[in-house]
Each structure stands twice: as structure tokens, then as C-alpha cells.
């Protein structure tokens, strides 16, 4: 994405759109680079919790986060 579009709420709107499209999902899962602080902050503020990390290439770590969906059974 071009830096001109950073910090405009686009990613937050996309997340809300996905939640609205799939309200009955049991769970939502996302992944991002471990050093991508803005993405991690966004996902955590949306209720995602870190599930695990794994190195996908030397020096590159991927973080997977999940959030219960509206169709989740407890």
C-alpha cells in the first residue's frame, strides 16, 4: 500500500467488513510479520489474541492471531 493511504482507517474498515460478511464464523484468524507493529496493534485492538509464532524464513517471523466469531460455541 502506498504511504499516502496509511493511518486512514482502511484496515479497520476492512476488518469490520469481513466481520459483517461472516457474522456466523466460529473464529477469525489473521497473520502478519512479527515486526509489523501497526498491524499487531490493529489486530489486538480488534480483539485478536496471539496464538503462535513461527519462523518462515531465516530472520522472518510470522505471528498468527485469532478472535472468536459470532458463531463460536463456548
- pLDDT tens-digit readout, 38-61: 999 999 999 999 999 999 999 999
Q: Is 1's pLDDT higher than 70?
A: no
CATH code of the domain made up of 3-68: 3.40.630.30
Higher pLDDT, 56 or 74: 56
Q: Is 37's pLDDT higher than 70?
A: yes
**Domain range annotation of the chain:** 3-68
Position 23 confidence tier, pLDDT thresholds 50, 70, 90 = very high
The CA-to-CA distance between both ends of the chain, in Å, stands at: 37
> Are 67 and 28 a contacting pair, CB within 8 Å?
yes
Amino acid at each position: 500500500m502506498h504511504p499516502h493511504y496509511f493511518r486512514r482507517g482502511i484496515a479497520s474498515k476492512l476488518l469490520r467488513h469481513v466481520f459483517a460478511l461472516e457474522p456466523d464464523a466460529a473464529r477469525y484468524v489473521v497473520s502478519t510479520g512479527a515486526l509489523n507493529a501497526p498491524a499487531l496493534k490493529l489486530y489486538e485492538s480488534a480483539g485478536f489474541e496471539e496464538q503462535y509464532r513461527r519462523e518462515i524464513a531465516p530472520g522472518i517471523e510470522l505471528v498468527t492471531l485469532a478472535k472468536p466469531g459470532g458463531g463460536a460455541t463456548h
